[in-house]
């Protein structure tokens, strides 16, 4: 039995080696079609790996992002590339990245290390048009979503476990109960996205009379919501979760059901706030922090709400100084550092992130950066304005990024930007594939009708 298993493993390894050799060396001849299929499959595998790794490790995610670019390069066809890049959904992320690269030129007072570090935060946007182009041809978009959800389900179980036994966490920090890896902001972002996506799929399954699927999706969504309510949650989620829930209800409920649903959600949220120490603590500290004076000494716990207000106040002033093209890529920390001289308390805090994506773009690249940023978000919202579940999932990711970027720079923060690029790129590519298929069918129907006439 062992010998048979070894032989099968040896055959599998030999086959994989032969396929890898074929994919790397065949560019013409009778095996070209098979080689191109293998190259596309390799990209699919790398994207699946990225989706599975994202909830756990940004280092692994970044490495896989580079691998995807290398694997994708040989599959590019110029006509397909120009067709996709000519669309705003793909062109605008490249435009924002190009602006960030050019913006390093006029950040003259900033060390090059700071400029390149800020530029590096935008580099993930390069992968977005790549995913749009790849998934316009690939049919594995659904498996990417499955890989991400499955990975988050494992993390969910680990989160509940470490809430009971904190010593089992990879990262054990004060205030990070139930957050075994990374941080509670990233974990909340991923859990909220998965929870609401699964809730939407539960509605979708129920509308098609697939009760077992509806029950399964609903139960899984409930577990994620329970973790957010009773284990740990980022306070930004208090804003973007209601926005995303309303989006779900608008899609699947009638007007009368929508009103009843909103009332029901409000009652449930009020009840959870009363019985959940986690929610009660997170919500009540907001008002305490907002009462902190700007020049008051900062205690053990940073008053993040008051700090955000101060960051925004200063950021608006920085923007007013250079409203057209900004201060250049990477200039944020230097501006805050100069302004903090002679200040105390919250006013003396120096950051490289104003905790608002629009202000982050405005400080560095002025009105040009703000226009391109919002044009990109709007282009992605328009891309997902079709009635399919995959488009709705892409819409959720876009809305979550826009909403959470009011309180954070989530298009540049590591986990949140990877989530945005992965979800929008994968879902957007699938939408483009569906639309191209629809256009082909419409053209064929019109040609058939013309021939009959």
What pLDDT, in 10s, does the model give residues 163-217?
Answer: 988 888 887 776 678 899 988 899 999 999 999 999 999 999 988 889 899 999 9
Residue 306 in this model has a pLDDT that exceeds 90: no
Higher pLDDT, 5 or 434: 434
- Average pLDDT on 370-376 reads 97
> Is 222:202 a contact under the CB 8 Å cutoff?
no
- How many other β-carbons are positioned within 10 Å of the β-carbon of residue 397? 24
Distances (CA, A) of 147 to 52, 195, 395: 5, 15, 19
Q: What was the pLDDT predicted at 419? A: 96
Mean pLDDT of 269-277: 80
pLDDT value at residue 447 = 41
Q: What was the pLDDT predicted at 274?
A: 77
The per-residue pLDDT for 440 is: 45
pLDDT at 5 over 80: no
For residues 281-301, average pLDDT: 72
The mean-pLDDT minimum among 300-304, 359-363, 380-384, 423-427 falls in 300-304
Under a CB-based contact definition with an 8 Å cutoff, are residues 92 and 378 in contact? Answer: no
Taking residue 435's Cβ as centre, other Cβ atoms within 10 Å add up to: 15
At 23, the pLDDT band (50, 70, 90 cuts) reads low
For the residues 251-275, what does the mean pLDDT come to?
A: 82
pLDDT digits (tens, 9 = 90+) for 103-159: 999 988 899 999 999 999 999 999 999 999 999 988 889 999 999 999 999 999 999
pLDDT above 90 as % of the chain: 52
Q: What pLDDT does residue 260 have?
A: 85
Contact predicate 124/65, CB 8 Å: yes
Instruction: Tell me the pTM.
Output: 0.90
**Predicted confidence (pLDDT) at residue 453 exceeds the cutoff of 50:** no
Instruction: Please report the pLDDT score of residue 32 as a whole number.
Output: 65
**Mean of all residue pLDDT scores within the chain:** 86
Distance CA 149, CA 190 (A): 9
Name the pLDDT band for 62 (thresholds 50, 70, 90).
Answer: very high
Packing angle, helices 184-207 and 141-164, rounded to 10: 120
Which of 157-166, 376-385, 440-449 is the least confident region?
440-449
Which has the higher per-residue pLDDT, 13 or 399? 399
**Cβ 356 vs Cβ 311: under 8 Å:** yes
How far is residue 420's CA from residue 187's CA, in Å, rounded to a whole number? 14
How confident is the model at residue 452, as a pLDDT? Answer: 43
Asked whether the CA dihedral 25, 27, 29, 33 is positive or negative, the reply is positive
CA 232: distance to chain centroid?
20
* Selection from 8-22, 91-105, 167-181 with the highest mean pLDDT: 91-105
pLDDT more than 70, % of the chain: 87
Comparing CA positions, the residue from 159, 269, 239, 291 lying closest to residue 408 is 239
Give the DSSP H/E element, type plus range, for residue 392.
helix 389-404
Would you say the C-alpha torsion 376, 244, 351, 64 has a positive or negative sign?
negative
């Amino acid at each position: 039995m062992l010998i048979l298993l070894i032989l099968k493993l040896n055959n599998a390894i030999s086959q994989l080696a032969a396929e890898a050799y074929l994919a790397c060396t065949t560019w013409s001849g009778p095996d070209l079609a098979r080689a191109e299929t293998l190259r596309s499959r390799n990209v699919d595998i790398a994207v699946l790996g990225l989706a599975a790794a994202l909830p756990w490790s940004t280092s692994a995610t970044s490495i896989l992002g580079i691998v995807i670019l290398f694997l994708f390069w040989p599959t590019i066809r110029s006509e397909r590339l120009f067709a996709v890049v000519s669309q705003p959904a793909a062109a605008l992320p490249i435009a924002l990245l190009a602006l960030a690269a050019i913006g390093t030129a006029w950040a003259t007072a900033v060390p090059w290390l700071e400029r390149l570090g800020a530029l590096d935060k935008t580099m993930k946007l390069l992968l977005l048009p790549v995913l749009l182009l790849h998934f316009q041809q690939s049919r594995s978009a659904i498996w990417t979503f499955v890989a991400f959800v499955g990975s988050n389900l494992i993390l969910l179980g680990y989160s509940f476990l470490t809430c009971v036994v904190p010593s089992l966490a990879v990262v054990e920090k004060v205030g990070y109960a139930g957050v075994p890896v990374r941080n509670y902001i990233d974990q909340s972002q991923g859990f909220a996205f998965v929870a609401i996506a699964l809730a939407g799929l539960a509605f979708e399954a129920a509308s098609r009379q697939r009760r077992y699927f509806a029950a399964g999706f609903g139960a899984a969504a409930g577990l994620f919501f329970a973790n957010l309510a009773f284990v740990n949650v980022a306070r930004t989620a208090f804003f973007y979760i209601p926005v995303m829930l309303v989006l779900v209800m608008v899609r699947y409920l009638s007007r009368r059901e929508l009103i009843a649903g909103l009332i029901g959600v409000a009652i449930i949220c009020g009840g959870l706030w009363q019985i959940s120490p986690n929610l009660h603590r997170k919500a009540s500290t907001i008002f305490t922090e907002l009462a902190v004076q700007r020049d008051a000494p900062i205690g053990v716990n940073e008053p993040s709400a008051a700090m955000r207000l101060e960051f925004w106040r200063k950021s608006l002033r920085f923007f007013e100084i250079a409203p057209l093209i900004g201060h250049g890529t990477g200039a944020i920390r230097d501006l805050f550092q100069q302004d903090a001289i002679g200040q105390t308390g919250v006013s003396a805090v120096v950051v490289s992130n104003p905790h608002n994506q629009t202000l982050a773009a405005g400080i560095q690249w002025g009105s040009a950066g703000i226009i391109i940023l919002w044009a990109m978000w709007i282009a992605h919202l328009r891309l997902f304005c079709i009635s399919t579940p995959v488009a709705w999932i892409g819409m959720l990711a876009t809305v979550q990024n826009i909403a959470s970027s009011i309180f954070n720079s989530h298009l540049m923060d590591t986990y949140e930007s990877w989530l945005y690029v992965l979800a929008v790129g994968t879902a957007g590519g699938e939408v483009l594939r569906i639309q191209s298929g629809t256009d082909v069918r419409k053209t064929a129907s019109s040609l058939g009708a013309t021939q009959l006439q």
